[in-house]
Chain A
Amino acid sequence: KAGVTQTPRYLIKTRGQQVTLSCSPISGHRSVSWYQQTPGQGLQFLFEYFSETQRNKGNFPGRFSGRQFSNSRSEMNVSTLELGDSALYLCASSLQAGHTGNTIYFGEGSWLTVV
């Protein structure tokens, strides 16, 4: 059974540009969440989607957005990139929402470097 797949794995963007990252959850998983990981801030929650609806949102500016498709695949977008957006962006999926004790499984992440 394939794990969480994220593309691209590595990318370099210029300040002011925008970027779209893609995530395919584990087959059968309907919940997807995104995290940003940086050396200084650790793992920070961005947002969570279930059945194409955003259920939770972390404390990030509006430049960070996401969406989920009917097949549970998800994308996140960052507009007007800043140097501080350089980070590892992690996608995680879980079987369902509305159930405590859900185990979330992470992808390998997308490394974004903003120059």
Chain B
Amino acid sequence: LAKTTQPISMDSYEGQEVNITCSHNNIATNDYITWYQQFPSQGPRFIIQGYKTKVTNEVASLFIPADRKSSTLSLPRVSLSDTAVYYCLVGGGNTNAGKSTFGDGTTLTVKP
């Protein structure tokens, strides 16, 4: 199993860029990296997914170095509404859900 490690918490201010790193030293060749955002009392919401290098969508970027042993979620210009828990998931989706590992999550607090 690919064990993941994330910082427990991070603080930021509105308008800043936030980078959250996830370590996954024993990631398997077929594993993808997916990030989710979760608000209290809600299910995790898909943010972005990648396999290698850089992926960008309308809300975030995901940077994955060549060795794939870590990944960094980048949130540009955060707002108060970005305060949430962010999870890194390493694995192969539902097919290998039993072998997918959620990190403990990073609680991001955005301050005015």
**Chain A residues close to B by CB (< 8 Å):** 4, 6, 31-33, 42-43, 45, 47-48, 50, 55-58, 88, 90, 92-94, 96-109, 111
Contact = CB atoms under 8 A, between A and B. Distances in A.
Given A33-B97, A45-B97, A108-B42, A101 B92 contact: yes
Interface of B: 30-32, 34, 36, 41-46, 49, 51, 87, 92-100, 102, 104-105
B30 to A, nearest CB: 4
Given A55-B95, A101-B92, 19 more contacts: A6-B43, A31-B95, A33-B97, A43-B105, A56-B97, A56-B99, A88-B41, A90-B44, A94-B93, A94-B94, A97-B94, A100-B96, A101-B93, A104-B46, A104-B94, A105-B46, A107-B43, A109-B41, A109-B42
Contacts of A47: 98
Given A48-B94, A56-B98, A101 B42 contact: no
Contacts, number: 88
26 contacts: A4-B43, A31-B93, A33-B97, A42-B102, A43-B87, A43-B105, A45-B98, A47-B98, A48-B95, A48-B97, A56-B97, A88-B41, A90-B43, A93-B94, A94-B93, A97-B94, A99-B92, A100-B92, A100-B95, A101-B49, A102-B92, A102-B94, A104-B34, A105-B46, A108-B43, A109-B42
A102 to B, nearest CB: 3
Contacts of A98: 95
Given A101-B49, A105-B46, A43 B102 contact: yes
A107 B46 CA distance: 11
Contacts of B44: 43, 90, 106
Contact of B94 (A92, A108, A109): A92
A109 B95 CA distance: 21
Among A31, A45, A88, which residue has the most Cβ atoms of chain B within 10 A? A45
